[in-house]
Amino acid sequence: MVTASAPGKVYLFGEHAVVYGEPAVPCAIERRATVTVTERSDGLRVQADDLSLNGFTVEYEGKATDRPDIDVSESLVDAGMGYINEAIEQVKDATGAESVGFDVEINSQIPLGAGLGSSAAVAVAAIDAGTRELGVELQPEEIADRAYQVEKKVQDGEASRADTFCSAMGGAVRVEGDDCRQIEAPELPFVVGYDGGAGDTGALVAGVRRLREQYDFAADTVEAIGDIVRNGEQALADGNVEELGRLMDFNHGLLSALGVSSRSLDAMVWAARNGEAHGAKLTGAGGGGCIVALDETAESLTAMEYTPGCEQAFRAELDTTGVQMEAE
């Protein structure tokens, strides 16, 4: 039995545009998914807690046929189970152990589909725990690449390397196509608001793709997000939190124009801004889930707590530790 954990993330800038080769800057946060893997003779049994309000338990051979009873959409159920299936396939590929079975237990502080990188963190931690259970230790960069293959398969080729690289490496990272690297970042005063919902990443990414193919101005909007990221990198290097906030505001506006925001996300963004945050934006695929704001004070946190549609608001520290083994 081996247990590994990996952090979730928030996007300072760049989600959706990163799928088209534009840069993105996600930051790991101290909310982690923990995965325990135990070898068994055959089959796969998965127990997942706290991925949603109820968690789920399902036992199956090979591909899943049973339906776990959880309070999220069927597409998210399929995706959540798909990430686990594909992570186990990566474990088998990395170790050459094709016929082995596993018990997998997942405990996550990261809501499923909320834009905080739950799927990436689970895939990263599962690959690390599974390979270690079979006596193989992978470097974080290889775990990141294998977890990216998981997301790419589940998301029908629409994934970027941003989430999985950030989760595997920790800290702040810059991703542009296949160019992934860690970057320096000051302590940032993250405040996260969560509406209790979840977006369908695949559907949202596909929607942006359709807009981009149909309208030149939508393609220009995606490129403009890339320009925001490049300006944001300089603000990050300078430790200029006020400029970071202004650019986050621009980024949210462009994401909203691409149709990936929602009434609850917009309400939390405006609550944070009215609470004197330096800036605020949705984080992740959108459609529901989380926003991230920059605010050293308690004002935006309090404002979001009193905003209709905000189920939870909390501070989130930058997590400089990526994937790690917790126990064996």
pLDDT, one tens digit per residue, over 142-181 is: 999 999 999 898 877 777 899 999 999 999 999 999 999 9
Q: pLDDT tens, 59-79?
A: 445 444 444 444 444 454 555
Give the residue numbers marked as catalytic: 163
Give the closest residue to 160 by CA, choosing from 127, 209, 111, 193.
209
CATH code 3.30.70.890 for 190-316: yes
Q: What is the CATH number of domain 2-184?
A: 3.30.230.10
Is the fold of 2-184 the same as that of 190-316? no
Provide the residue count of the chain: 328
CA–CA distance, 231 with 88 (Å, rounded to integer): 39
The domain ranges of the chain are: 2-184, 190-316
39 burial via Cβ count (<10 Å: 0-12, 13-18, 19+): middle
Q: What is the pLDDT of residues 279-301, one digit of tens each?
A: 999 999 999 999 999 999 999 99
pLDDT at 89 exceeding the cut of 80 = yes
